[in-house]
Structure formats: structure tokens, C-alpha cells
Amino acid sequence: MEFDTRIGVSEPDKIYVHGYDLTEDLIGEITLADMAFLGAAHRKPSQQESKMLNACMVAICEHGFTPSSISARLTYLGAPEAVQGAVAAGLLGAGSVYLGAMEYVAQMLQDGLKKVEDENDVQIIAAQIMEERAKKGLQLPGFGHPIHRPIDPRTPKLFALAEELGFSGKHIALMNEIHRQFCEQKGKALTLNVAGAIGAVLSDMNLHFSVVKSFAVAARAVGLIAHIVEEIETSRKDCMAQKLYDFVEENTNYKNTKSARDKGE
Amino acid sequence: MEFDTRIGVSEPDKIYVHGYDLTEDLIGEITLADMAFLGAAHRKPSQQESKMLNACMVAICEHGFTPSSISARLTYLGAPEAVQGAVAAGLLGAGSVYLGAMEYVAQMLQDGLKKVEDENDVQIIAAQIMEERAKKGLQLPGFGHPIHRPIDPRTPKLFALAEELGFSGKHIALMNEIHRQFCEQKGKALTLNVAGAIGAVLSDMNLHFSVVKSFAVAARAVGLIAHIVEEIETSRKDCMAQKLYDFVEENTNYKNTKSARDKGE
Amino acid sequence: MEFDTRIGVSEPDKIYVHGYDLTEDLIGEITLADMAFLGAAHRKPSQQESKMLNACMVAICEHGFTPSSISARLTYLGAPEAVQGAVAAGLLGAGSVYLGAMEYVAQMLQDGLKKVEDENDVQIIAAQIMEERAKKGLQLPGFGHPIHRPIDPRTPKLFALAEELGFSGKHIALMNEIHRQFCEQKGKALTLNVAGAIGAVLSDMNLHFSVVKSFAVAARAVGLIAHIVEEIETSRKDCMAQKLYDFVEENTNYKNTKSARDKGE
Amino acid sequence: MEFDTRIGVSEPDKIYVHGYDLTEDLIGEITLADMAFLGAAHRKPSQQESKMLNACMVAICEHGFTPSSISARLTYLGAPEAVQGAVAAGLLGAGSVYLGAMEYVAQMLQDGLKKVEDENDVQIIAAQIMEERAKKGLQLPGFGHPIHRPIDPRTPKLFALAEELGFSGKHIALMNEIHRQFCEQKGKALTLNVAGAIGAVLSDMNLHFSVVKSFAVAARAVGLIAHIVEEIETSRKDCMAQKLYDFVEENTNYKNTKSARDKGE
């Protein structure tokens, strides 16, 4: 029984990671995000790819108080001996609802372009995608935001960077066209959100949609550090998790009366 | 009830993260690892700090097949619908045994230097620390490695970078002195491992020991991407997790015989 | 802001859980599995329901070495300070691949019976379900087993218990009929596995399909205790996780040669 | 390479778990909690042991809104596709702060009794333990409760059951004596809480302290079902997790002003 891997191997005085000499080629030479790229693309990113990927991961790293960061804080409150558990709990909420869109957008764009002969006719492709999803009763992923209306400020920033760095290709063009048609259809300005933007940008960086979510999850892990640090730096009594727990306890309305139960038996 | 935070806030057209304008100051301007620094130090790193921190996180990001990365792969095998769960499972093994040392080293060095008046007399401080730990029956963290003997190649690389970037201060000096005395005491060359090196470097970057482990956990999350990608890219039948599971199943020696049980009742 | 719940409330000298007095009505009066029933059905189970549910949860509690239990052991190896992390890692692999079937079976049966006027004509309903799934390219959940062929010994046991305890209703009948037609269609004896059996039994206990998976997850948490105990009872050097890790390390075939990398650049 | 286990093995028509025939000896014969006992003690519990263990696990299964159950709900909000993740997140908060006490009590009592020749002189042993812990600056685990003062109603209930079922031995006696001396020392009635009670009861059932926490974690997994069910049964908009998240968002006080940042640079 042998286990093949392209990822890494250690010798007494050398460590190879993704085919590179860790100390010669990677430490001090590349950024942390580049390690994610290496894992997905099996080669070091170019300078442009590195900058673009760092930008995308920075953009989704931190969202303030979210179900995910609150879970991490609550977990740290109960298990400060295991920071890894707090980070893990924070990541577990990074599922289909909040992070899924990024992957769904990438898949929608990549599948949409694969099906057609003439990749340049984005108008037709966009219309096809929208019609197909409507027929299946599927939502269009990558649109809408509770706060950032009608523009998510990260979207123009990321698209401008993609343009500048040479990654503004057919996927971004298609996403923009879907956006245009969707707004037209609805008769109002809809937000093309950061998940939609990143799904398109990573697609134009030739990253397969199936790896997109793991990039988002890793970025979140980095973002959770700040939340755990903020809990550490606040006294236990005043930390956010304790305050929140106390608040919930004081405002719990118990609706299951003993008498109701008795009748039910 | 109000929840204070210095981390982030969103307005319709602006997002502030750690006091910076996300789109103006951070996206495209800083690296992913810098977000970790921001979370711990509440300010952007200098160029030197950014390079040093990226180097440290790259150094501990990836270790090939480990209990942690194998868990992530096994979890992905059972729950491919939830990549976040695979990453979380991988992180949960990043506990005291494998990652703890980094924090323990940082704490040992930071506490050791806090207790003394003359920070420059590393020989005496090192001796004190070693004596104190010996008295309490505590191991010296940061030493030893099953493969990298007598030198962990990451250690000289990181210390050289620290020197070059201006972070080679009293904590690294103290760690090197502890190493020297420890080798002398044992009468042989002992490995100062990467956990020991990073514990010292991050201390010389003025990062508090309590945040060190969360940096390591976040770096691991990035490293786990490669393992999940490798599982995705291999057919389900041939993926490492399935092969490993099959191997275990075929080589399980069930030692609890029915007859043994009968006698026990 | 108020948070409603029917689950529990504490007063200085009383604790109410699901409308019952914890110390008077529950502790010493009901089993652990009954707490799961209480959570899902909002009332105490009858003696028959309790026995049936305990039987189902016992049946899926333990599977020996599985990706899930191996992950738990590997996690314990790296983080013995946090048993909760080892259990959590074990549960994270209990996803769609291994546990999903139970829920899919329950949903298939419950939806199938909801659509028809005459619930007693299981032959027609079974045929409809099979036709519909075939049309959509969906597999039939609850069938097949790598080892237990052509009979999963748990299935007849659970169906016999259901009969004895009065839970053998239309869902089990429908599942048996689907099994009969499926074997006929394939021209061979196919295993109706334990997931299929439990999906049918819990449906005949009037439990909604959406809660079925959480029952399975909780049962697994109980089963993982044995694996963690076995790791604790074995010396660190000889424990299964360490042996497995050593084996993987010794049998890793690193396929990413430096020269291959050089050509790629 | 062989992996030994006493836990389980499957043959085509038989499954052995802990030396028993799963379908003949366990399904329909024992309760879910008994599987936990089997895992820890390697034999089926007696009827008394089964009742006592079920009572203990029922007692700590459910605590209403806690950091742990709130995390599970928040995680389900973000990742409803992966119930196992919600349960895992809930368990990750079950660490040293809330569940640790149970294990620490069991260890304190078991170690305390091991050190002495005359196990019956609980007064002296209790005094020794208290003196030793005071010297080391260690708290006495198992005492105090924010709500249940001066009596945790679960404690007399569990001790009465232990008496009735024949498990009221030297560990419970020692715990009661520590309680008596501690109250005397402090000059007031202190709560002997449920963690203290269960630590003592499980010790008198001859369970080793190292397995105590895994029992508590598994009980919690069962308790979390109710919380996930309550989220499922409430509309997404009105579920507790969404309401809580909205509340936090509306009441976040962002203290990191851009101007403050500018001065800092």
C-alpha cells in the first residue's frame, strides 16, 4: 500500500512542498495566500496572480460580527484551552448560505462557457443561463446584499484590480452581462455582491469552481484570529461572548408551561 | 445592550476593517497574512513585518500527511457537501501536541524576560528558565524533531530572515542561548525546531504569546486546501482517504471474541 | 428582543426541560435517547417508542473503524486536551455519504405517501417513486452494502421489533415494496441496508425526515466514546492513530520531483 | 501492519460490537447510554448501572440556551446542508469551562482516595485534598452555580438515585465531606453543583476520570438535537439564530474610527 501525493515530503535537511524546496523557494519568497494557490494550481503564482488572490482573500476575510465569528467567540468562552476549536466552530458556519454563492457563481460561469461554441457572445450565454435557471427554479447566485445597495464597494474594486492585473476575461464579462440583464429584467439596480465578484475573478484566474469554497474557508480562518484576539484582550466578564450569553439568558421567553404539558399527556 | 468591537463595520458604500477603509487601504494593498497581523496588533504591518509574518506562516502551513491533514481528507470523504467541515476537522487536530510548542516557547521567552531586570544577560536568564522548568518537571518546548536532525532547515532560514529584516532581538537571542545550554547539558546536538524558531521570532515581533497559536491554526487552514484539492482531483475510488480506509478495514484485528465475552458475563 | 424557546428554563430550585420538571419527571425516569425524542416530538415517548428509538440508535451507534472514528482518533492524538474536538472531528465526517441515506429514505417515503390519495396501494406508490427517481437520474437510497449481502442483519431485526412494538406501518410497507420491485428489476437480491430500515422505522414513528440525520449524528457521538477510550487505554506509542500515522508516513510516495517542477517554471 | 481493536467487526451476516452480537444481544436489549458504558467498561451495564448512567446523562443533556447551543444554532443558520457541523460546533464549546468540572471532580476524588491507606476516613482525606489544592492555588471544582443556590436540584436527585441503586460509595461520601468542610470554611451554604455530583457518581460506578468528559460530550450531542429541531421548525426569518444575529448587528458599537487610525499611523 502506497499513498501518492504531490504535496510534500521531508528529508533530514530538506523539505519539499509542491515540488519546491521550502526553505530556498518558498519561505521569505511567497505569501501565505500563494500557498493556497500552490495547493490548487500546483505551481507558484505569478506576481499578478499573487496580488489578485491576496486581494480576493483579504476581501472576504473579515465581516465583523457574523454567525460564524459569534460562534467562534462563544466557543472560545467555553473552551479557551483549545483555540483550534474556536476557529473550527467559526468555520463550520461558513456553509452554503454565506459562502456557497462564490462557488455557485464560479460553477454557473464555468459551466455556462463550456457549453457554448462562441465564448465571445456573452449576451446570448447570459440569457441562456438565466433562462435555464429560471426553468429549474434556481436563484441567480452572486446578487443582492442587505447593506451594500445598489453597489457592493468590493465589487468595482476587485474588477478594477482584475483589469489592471490582466485577469479581466470572459467570466467577468459574462457575470457583468448577467448582472445587466438581471437588473433590466427586474427593472431596478441590483447589487452584484462580493461573492459574485470573486466567483468571476477566480474563474478568470483559471481556478476550478470546486476549489473556490476552500479558499473562502481558509480566508475566514485568518479573519477569525481578530475575533479570538478581541475576546482574549477583553476581561472574561466583559467579553462579547459572555455579554451576549447573559443577554440571551435574561431575555429568554420560556413558552413550554407545565400545565400545557399536563394537558398533553 | 451594546457590543463593542474594533474589528469592523459596514455602511452602504463603505466597509471599515480594523479602522481602515477595506477597499481603499486593504484590498490590493496588503496580503492575507497581514490581516492576521491587523487582528492581533490593531495596525497594518510594516513591509518588514509583513515579509517576516508571511515567512513564518508559510513555514508552518504545510506538513504533508499528518494526523491533521489525514483527518481533513477522511472527513471530506464522508461529507463532500461541506468543505468547511473537512477544514474544521483538520484544524481540530492542531492542538497541544503538534502546535502547542509554538505558544509554549513564546510564553517561556516572554515570561522569562519579563521577570529580569537586565534583559541583556541571556546566559543567566536561560539558566534560570531551564532550572525552573526542571524543578517543575516541565519539558523544554521547541526542541527535537523525528526527521530533521540535528538541524531543522526552517530554523536557520527564519533566523536569517529575522536578522535581515531587523527582528532578531532578545527573544531569539534567549532561545539560541537556551539551545546552546540544553545541548551542552545533554552532551549532544539537539534540534531547535520550527515551532521553537517561530515562537522566538513572533516574540521579537512583539506579538503576545496568547495569539501565537491562532496564527498557526490559520496557517494550517490555508495548508489544508492542498489536501482537499488532491482528494477532489483524484477519483473517489483512488483517493487517499478511501485507500486508507480500505487498508485499515482489511488489516483490522478484532480481539474481542464472543467466547471471551461469554466468560465475562 | 425576546428569544422564545420550548426547550428549557431554570429557576433557583427547579429546571424545566421540554415542559417537564427535570428532576421529578426525567432524571431516573427516561433514557438518554428519550431526550432526543423529546427534542423532536416535544413530548415523552411511550414505552414502545422509547424501546424502538433506543434500538435504532444502538443499531447505528458503532461501526468499528470508519473514516469518522479514525478522524476522531487522529484528532485526539494531536489534541488530547480537548476531547470535545475529537468527538466533533468524528461527527464532521458523518455527512451525506454515510449518514445521508437515512434522511433521503425517510424523505422519499414521506413525500411519496403524501402525494397519493390511497395510501394503501403501496405497489403503485412504489412504482411511481422508482419511476420518478429514475427519470431524474436519482439513485434509490437505502440499498446496497459492501459486506452485508444480501441481507443486512440489522434490517430484519429492526423490522421485527417494529412489528412487535406496533410501529410497522405504511412507510415500512412501502420500503419493503420498493425493495421487492428493485430486486425484481435488477434480477438479483439487493441488500435493504440499515439506513433504509431506520429511515422507514422512524417515519412510521411519525418523525419528520428533517430530524432523522440529527438522531444519527447524536448516536455517533455516543459511539465515538469507545474509540477515544481505546486510544486513552493504549499507550501513546501503540495507539491506533499513531500507528496509522507512522504507517502513512513510511508509505508515502512523493510524486512531485524538483526536476518536474523546474520544467514547469 | 495490523490495527487491533476490541470495539467491532462485521461479517456478512453478523456484526460484533464490544464482543456482543449486535442484533442478538444489543439492538432492542440495551439503551443508547449503555453503548457509552460498553465503550468505557468493555461490558454491558447491569440494570442498576444502566439506570444510573441514563440518569446522569439525562441530567446534563440539556441546558437551554448556552454558548454551546447558541453556536449550534448559528452554525445551522449558515450551513443547513450539514447538520453534523452544527452539532460539532455546539460540542466544541463544551470545553474546560463548562464541562471540565465533571472530570476535575472525578480526578480529585479518585486521586485523593488512591493516596490514602484508610479509605474510610473521609474527614481526613477531604481536609488533605482541600489543603493541597489551596497550596497549589487550585480552585475546588464542582461547587457554585449562578442560578441554583444554595442547592442544585439535580444533586440531591442523583445522590438519592445512587443510594437507591447501590452506587453511593466512598467517592460520593468524600464529595459530600468536601462540601461540608468547604461550607464551614466559607461560613455559608455553597452549591454542590451537578458537575460535582456526576463526577462523584461516575467515580462510584468505577468509571475512570479520563472518560468522564466524553460521556458529557456525548450527552450534549443528544441535547443539541432539540435546538436544531427548534431552528428547523421556525421559519428562517424568525429563528433564534437569525434574530440574535440581527440584534447583534443592530447593536454593534464600532469603536475604531478612521481618525483614530490616522493618528496611529
A-chain CB neighbours of C255 within 8 Å are 4-6
Q: Do B89 and C94 touch (CB under 8 A)?
A: no
> What does the pLDDT read at residue D209?
97
A-chain CB neighbours of D64 within 8 Å are 252, 254
**Residue predicted with more confidence, B263 or B31:** B31
- Mutation pick from B25, B27, B243 vs chain A, by most beta carbons of A within 10 Å, is B27
Residue B27 CB neighbour total at 10 angstroms: 26
The residues near C124 (Cβ < 8 Å, ≥ 6 apart) are C116
> What does the pLDDT read at residue C226?
97
> Chain A interface residues facing chain C, Cβ-Cβ under 8 Å?
1-9, 16, 18-21, 42-44, 79, 81-82, 84-85, 88, 92, 248, 251-258, 260-261, 264-265
Task: Evaluate if residue D137 carries a pLDDT over 70.
Answer: yes
Of B4, B8, B264, the CB nearest to D253: B4
Please report, for chain A, how many H helices and E strands are present, in that order: 12, 5
C-chain CB neighbours of D35 within 8 Å are 58, 61-62, 222-223, 225-226
D-chain CB neighbours of B19 within 8 Å are 256-258, 260-261, 264
Query: Residue B216's closest CA among B41, B91, B74, B67?
Result: B91
Output the DSSP codes for B89-137.
Answer: HHHHT-STTTTHHHHHHHHHHHHHHHS-S-TT-HHHHHHHHHHHHHHHT
Low-confidence residues of chain A: pLDDT under 70: 257-265
Strands D252-254, D14-17: pairing is unpaired
Largest separation between any pair of C-alpha atoms in chain B: 75
Q: What mean pLDDT is predicted for residues B181-201?
A: 97
Percent of chain B with pLDDT over 70: 97
- Mutation pick from B252, B257, B262 vs chain D, by most beta carbons of D within 10 Å, is B252
Touching partners of B (3+ C-beta pairs < 8 Å): A, C, D
Q: Do B43 and D265 touch (CB under 8 A)?
A: yes
Task: Evaluate if residue D261 carries a pLDDT over 60.
Answer: no
Q: State the DSSP code for B16.
A: E
Determine if the pTM surpasses 0.90. yes
Please report which confidence band the pLDDT of residue D257 belongs to, taking 50, 70 and 90 as the band edges. Answer: low
Please report which confidence band the pLDDT of residue C260 belongs to, taking 50, 70 and 90 as the band edges. Answer: very low
Q: Do A95 and D82 touch (CB under 8 A)?
A: yes
Task: Evaluate if residue B49 carries a pLDDT over 90.
Answer: yes
Q: How far is C124 from chain D (nearest CA, A)?
A: 32
Output the DSSP codes for B41-74.
Answer: HSSPPPHHHHHHHHHHHHHHH--SS-HHHHHHHH
Bridge partner residues of A4 (DSSP): C253
Q: What is the pLDDT of residues C86-137, one digit of tens each?
A: 999 999 999 888 888 999 999 999 999 998 877 779 999 999 999 999 999 9
> Chain D interface residues facing chain A, Cβ-Cβ under 8 Å?
64-68, 70-71, 74-75, 77-82, 85-86, 88-89, 92-99, 241, 244-245, 248-249, 252, 254
Q: Which of B6-20, C67-81, D247-261 has the lowest mean pLDDT?
A: D247-261
> What does the pLDDT read at residue C98?
80
Please report which confidence band the pLDDT of residue D120 belongs to, taking 50, 70 and 90 as the band edges. Answer: confident
Q: What mean pLDDT is predicted for residues B84-93?
A: 97
Q: Average pLDDT over chain D, rounded to whole?
A: 93
Q: How far is D25 from chain A (nearest CA, A)?
A: 33
Of A23, A33, A210, the CB nearest to B32: A33
> What does the pLDDT read at residue B257?
60
Task: Evaluate if residue D80 carries a pLDDT over 70.
Answer: yes
C-chain CB neighbours of A251 within 8 Å are 1-3
B-chain CB neighbours of A95 within 8 Å are 82, 84
- Residue A65's φ and ψ, nearest 5 degrees, are -75, 120
Q: Average pLDDT over chain B, rounded to whole?
A: 93
C-chain CB neighbours of A5 within 8 Å are 252-256
> What does the pLDDT read at residue C263?
41
B-chain CB neighbours of A217 within 8 Å are 83-84, 87, 221
Of B64, B70, B85, the CB nearest to C92: B85
The residues near D94 (Cβ < 8 Å, ≥ 6 apart) are A78, A79, C84, D68, D216, D217, D220
Q: Which of A167-181, D94-108, D186-200 has the lowest mean pLDDT?
A: D94-108
> What does the pLDDT read at residue A257?
60
> What does the pLDDT read at residue C261?
47
D-chain CB neighbours of B43 within 8 Å are 261, 264-265
Task: State the ipTM, two decimals.
Answer: 0.94
Touching partners of D (3+ C-beta pairs < 8 Å): A, B, C
* Pairs of CB atoms within 8 A across B/D: 103
Of A65, A85, A89, the CB nearest to D248: A65
Q: How far is D80 from chain C (nearest CA, A)?
A: 11
Q: Do D75 and A64 touch (CB under 8 A)?
A: no
On whether the CB atoms of residues D38 and C226 are closer than 8 A, the answer is yes
- Residue B247's φ and ψ, nearest 5 degrees, are -60, -45
> Chain D interface residues facing chain B, Cβ-Cβ under 8 Å?
1-9, 16, 18-21, 42-44, 79, 81-82, 84-85, 88, 92, 248, 251-258, 260-261, 264-265
- Mutation pick from A65, A68, A74, A240 vs chain D, by most beta carbons of D within 10 Å, is A74
On whether the CB atoms of residues D94 and C85 are closer than 8 A, the answer is no
Residue in A closest to D84 by C-alpha = A92
Q: What mean pLDDT is predicted for residues C226-242?
A: 94
Half-sphere exposure of A191 (CA within 13 A, CB side): 17
Query: Residue A265's closest CA among C19, C10, C50?
Result: C19
Q: Do A85 and C81 touch (CB under 8 A)?
A: no
> What does the pLDDT read at residue C257?
59
Q: What mean pLDDT is predicted for residues B220-237?
A: 94
Q: What mean pLDDT is predicted for residues D194-211?
A: 97
> What does the pLDDT read at residue D116?
85
Q: What is the pLDDT of residues C22-38, one digit of tens each?
A: 999 999 999 999 999 99
Of D64, D78, D249, the CB nearest to A98: D78
Distance CA A201, CA A106 (A): 9
| Residue C93 identity | G
C-chain CB neighbours of A18 within 8 Å are 256, 261
Task: Evaluate if residue B186 carries a pLDDT over 50.
Answer: yes
Q: Which three cell numbers stand for residue C72?
A: 476522531
CA dihedral A109, A110, A113, A115 (to 10 degrees): -120
> What does the pLDDT read at residue D167?
97
Of B9, B42, B82, the CB nearest to D81: B82
On whether the CB atoms of residues B105 and B142 are closer than 8 A, the answer is yes
